[in-house]
Amino acid sequence: MKFLKRTLPFILLNILVSAVTIYAVLMLWQRQNPAPQLATPVLPTQTSPDPKNQPTSTSNPEVIIENVFGAGDINTEYILLRNTGSTPVNLVNWRLTGLNAQQFNFPVINLNTNGAVRLYSREGSSSVIELYWGSASALWKSGDTLTLTDSEGSQQASFTIP
């Protein structure tokens, strides 16, 4: 009992100092590395979206194909697209195409500044941060080139899988 009486204040002090240190480190980390904004949907005002009625983005959007992950494995294969521009970009009627005539037409979705969206090859339920191609097999392999074109048909990005 005497041992516990002498050591308990030091244990409590150690817990308090550890908690304050962890909190300080996390606050500094968050200040240096802010969380990216997530893609948010643009709700259509009509039953079928008309690109002319959609919000406009910059005249030169900066959406990039950041990487292709898990190429060749349908369970993990996805493409990461990111808006590196300074304004949101509406991806309605944008297309992602591959070498073997694979083509994905983007739904009505708004990609915020520094926002990203994952495009999975497999089937699934799309959300504002994850889209699904609906393929039964993997679509990509090393050496394939993907091309992202906007609603007017202008190439916005290209990526060759290493």
Q: What is the CATH number of the domain that holds 80?
A: 2.60.40.1260
The answer to whether 146 touches 68, Cβ cutoff 8 Å, is yes
For residues 17 and 75, membership in a common domain is answered with no
Nearest to 89 by CA among 115, 67, 68: 115
For residues 74 and 29, membership in a common domain is answered with no
Domain of 86, in residue numbers:
56-160
Residue 89: inside a domain = yes
For residues 29 and 74, membership in a common domain is answered with no
Query: Rounded to the nearest 5°, which phi and psi values hold at 17?
Result: -65, -40
Nearest to 106 by CA among 88, 125, 122, 90: 90
- Total domain count, the chain: 2
Residue 50: inside a domain = no
Residues with Cβ within 8 Å of residue 142, at least 6 apart in sequence: 71, 72, 161, 162
pLDDT at 5: 82
Alpha-helical runs (H) found in the chain:
2-32
Per residue in 70-123, pLDDT (tens digit) is: 999 999 999 999 999 999 999 999 999 988 778 999 999 999 999 999 999 999
For residues 88 and 145, membership in a common domain is answered with yes
For residues 8 and 88, membership in a common domain is answered with no
55: pLDDT strictly greater than 60 = no
For residues 61 and 30, membership in a common domain is answered with no
Residue 115: inside a domain = yes
For residues 20 and 73, membership in a common domain is answered with no
- Residue 46: pLDDT band with limits 50, 70, 90: very low
For residues 28 and 98, membership in a common domain is answered with no
Residue 45: inside a domain = no
Residue 46: inside a domain = no
Among 52-61, 74-83, 126-135, name the one with the lowest average pLDDT.
52-61
